[in-house]
Chain A
Amino acid sequence: MAAVSLTPDLTSISQLELVLEEFANNHGLAMPLQLRLNLMLEELVTNSVDYSLQAVEAPKLDVNLSVEEDFVVAVLNDNGTEFNPFEEAPVADTTSGLTDRPIGGLGVLLTKKLADEYAYKRVDENNCITLRCKITGET
């Protein structure tokens, strides 16, 4: 179990990297899974910092990591404006040609595709996102 309060700005990305490295070492997680968790959480943390936490006077951004049976469970909490990235973020365009392709929405798309399960809840004025990733035998 790891529970960490991240600094709600760009430095949270480096903090996240170190937290995941330590968590993966402690639980013997394979590198691909560590990188996958890192990517999803970076995308979500970036969303929180850039959008939901923008108008908050005392922003808070917490991440909790745990292993439940054969899943890694990552929970991200922020006290920002209500925002469900899985429903409200712009949908990524993955079909237009190079010249016309808009560049938004990729972070949420990657998170949805790389997580085995994802969920959003509004809890006590907080945005609460839960990701679950299956631990496989990959090395």
Chain B
Amino acid sequence: MEDLKAPSIDYAAVAPILILFGAACLGVVVEAFVPRRARHAVQLTLALLATLAGLVVVITQASTRVTTAVGALAIDGPAVFLQGAILVLALVSLLLMGERKLEPGGAFVPQAAITVGSEADERQAARAPGLTEVYPISLFAIAGMLLFVAANDLLTMFIALEVFSLPLYLLCALARRRRLLSQEAALKYFLLGSYASAFFLFGVALVYGFVGAVDLASIHTAAAESDRDPLLLYAGLALLSIGLLFKTAAVPFHVWTPDVYQGAPTPVTAFMAACTKVAAFGALLRVLYVGFNGLSWDFTPILGVVAVLTMIIGAVLAVTQTDIKRLLAYSSIANAGYLLVGVLASGERGLASTMFYLVAYGFSVLAAFAVVTLVRDADGEAGHLSRWAGLGRRSPLIAGLFTFILLAFAGIPLTSGFISKFAVFAAAMEGGQTWLVIAGVISSIVLAFPYLRVVVMMWLSDPSDATPTVSVPGVLTTAALAIGVAMTLLLGVAPSLLLDLTTGAAEFVQ
């Protein structure tokens, strides 16, 4: 019998992914054998160490530009940069998840299977320590995201999509408070998410029908050289885009976002808003820039309309929101629109500015949700905006930090929000997409209104009895908040640190 040749794998290049997967499996073992009392500390340490180790390895791989595992993975500039971004943002999200000072037992439910509102549920709501499975589940999600941004063929990409989506669906259902809302969010996310995955898979099938292969390099060649009727290729790209745009929360595939962001435990919402965005845009960039760049004349107008709709609808609906988490969700939708402008700017500038935007937005949004976890009353987080009135008088420090983050979202100079918007708009102007920039600037003006309304409410209203107290954050939340705010400021004052990095990384290998 002839010996099969084992695929050659560059283990150094895929080491970050392997570390995260290994740590996730180890986390399950910890869950099985470590006594309940010690689990939280062990799991949190393991998760933080694994993410840190992954980050260190990614940094040592900074100059790697290879495809490996028979072309299934491309560890190139954007992959390494985005993997690093995901790991840094995930590290901060893990800090938020690990916080147990704000609420006895943490933000997660002790036993998710207990019926909501039953006696056992009331007993567990009071004090019982939360699930520690969230850490291995998060590690699986992070590993899937690392794989997603490096996937160089569509099937690997699909597997990675599922690997990071399934843990996210689970995490959404695990809130300690308002459990029905949380379970509803998870179910909605799961149903719509699997629907979007099916679109993605069907798109893969159609593209395979045209190309006869699923790797992006072959797709690129076939799109350029084949003289067959390209209908299959166009239909395939359209379906693929639906699957990816769903994860990025672009209009008209955004309807899940506010409900899921509101229902999910706030640390998980922060994790999704920061890391899932990076992963989804990473994959979208690779598909459009490597596989289908020959078709950019055809898809740019259509995705341009999606980008304009995303920016306008996200901004307009943000104005009408009365819940802080829903407001941030619509803001996240509008930001997906700005990111799409960067994607459509095409070329190295577009790629670099989109990657910069992803990191800058990720840090700001993590800090914003960290503040949301702090403002609470007896029933948990005080989500309704009217409750935030007069917060500036009660706790000027937290209100001040939140004001700074909101101004960054609004794109005020000296914050990372200004630099990142400027970068994507400049790239789009250079790429000849002036109409996108005009829509972007208009929607930014609209979007500034809800942010400023919150700022005005916090500082210019008198505190009433209904104004919640700001809990004293534990060391973990303090660290997460400090990192988020510091990076928002740093990237606004000295953006060249990161801009140079993104420019150096802005080239795909095939």
Asked if A and B bind, the verdict is: no
Instruction: Enumerate chain B interface residues (CB-CB to A < 8 A).
Output: none
Q: Which residues of A contact B (CB under 8 A)?
A: none
